[in-house]
Each structure stands twice: as structure tokens, then as C-alpha cells.
Amino acid sequence: MNSTIWLALALVLVLEGLGPMLYPKAWRRMIATMSQLPDTILRRFGGGLVVAGIVIYYMLRKTIG
């Protein structure tokens, strides 16, 4: 695999781990609240994250080479 992909994965893991590490109670409340949302809202949120990730990847790929 390309080293850029590993770097991206590492950054995702670091960012995902910061919430529960620094603010466990708030993180737990957020997860509980999100579990109560309708499926359509969660799908839109997930789709937005996917699109944002693809755009960021494309921009970085274009900048790096």
C-alpha cells in the first residue's frame, strides 16, 4: 500500500481516539444521542463525511503529486 494511505489511516485513528480519551462522558452522550437519530439523518451525515473525505483526499493528492 502507498505510504500516503497509511498516513491518512493513522491520522483518522488519532482523531477518532481523541474524543473518548479526552472527554469520555461527553463522547458517550454524543453516541447515545446519535443512536436515537433516524436512519435518514445518519445516512446523510455519513454521506457528508464520505464526500468531505474524498474531497480532502483529492486535494491532498493533487497538491502532493
Contact criterion met (CB below 8 Å) for 38 and 31 = no
Rounded to 10 degrees, the C-alpha dihedral 15/25/21/47 comes to -20
Residue 9 has pLDDT above 70, yes or no: yes
What would the pLDDT profile of 11-64 be if each residue is shown by its tens digit? 899 999 999 999 999 999 999 999 999 999 999 999 999 999 889 888 888 887
What pTM was estimated for this model as a whole? Answer: 0.68
pLDDT at residue 8 greater than cutoff 90: no
